[in-house]
Amino acid sequence: AQSVTQLGSHVSVSEGALVLLRCNYSSSVPPYLFWYVQYPNQGLQLLLKYTSAATLVKGINGFEAEFKKSETSFHLTKPSAHMSDAAEYFCAVSLRVGAQKLVFGQGTRLTIIP
């Protein structure tokens, strides 16, 4: 069964600093991978997704993620953090075959220090 692990339940970065949120997956074949963001009292918004077209995926709000099969990783980065980036971030995986059952990581709460 596929699973996803997010390293670090809380990450704090200074405004303007690099944001790096880590995600590792476990699957027998490379799955589809997603990053979602959740602001307080809101639903989830898709940041980006990997479906095998390109290993470096660019998303909204300046975020990008790189798929590394050898490391089974899909880390999320942003060169310069903004205060508005403070939120909960979820990495999610789904199988390539069968119904799209999204399995989420435990989430990483990103805090931006002014």
Partner 1 sequence: DTEVTQTPKHLVMGMTNKKSLKCEQHMGHRAMYWYKQKAKKPPELMFVYSYEKLSINESVPSRFSPECPNSSLLNLHLHALQPEDSALYLCASSQVSGQGYEQYFGPGTRLTVT
What is the contact surface with partner 1 in residues (CB under 8 A)? 32, 34, 36, 41-46, 49, 51, 90, 94, 96-102, 104-107
User: Which lies closer to partner 1 via its Cβ, residue 83 or residue 97?
Assistant: 97
Nearest residue (CB) to partner 1, 42 versus 61: 42
CB of 30 to partner 1, least distance (A): 11
As a whole number of angstroms, the distance between CA 28 and CA 98 comes to 14
Residue 52 CB, shortest distance to partner 1, in Å, is: 8
Hey, CA dihedral for 41, 47, 51, 55, is it positive or negative?
negative
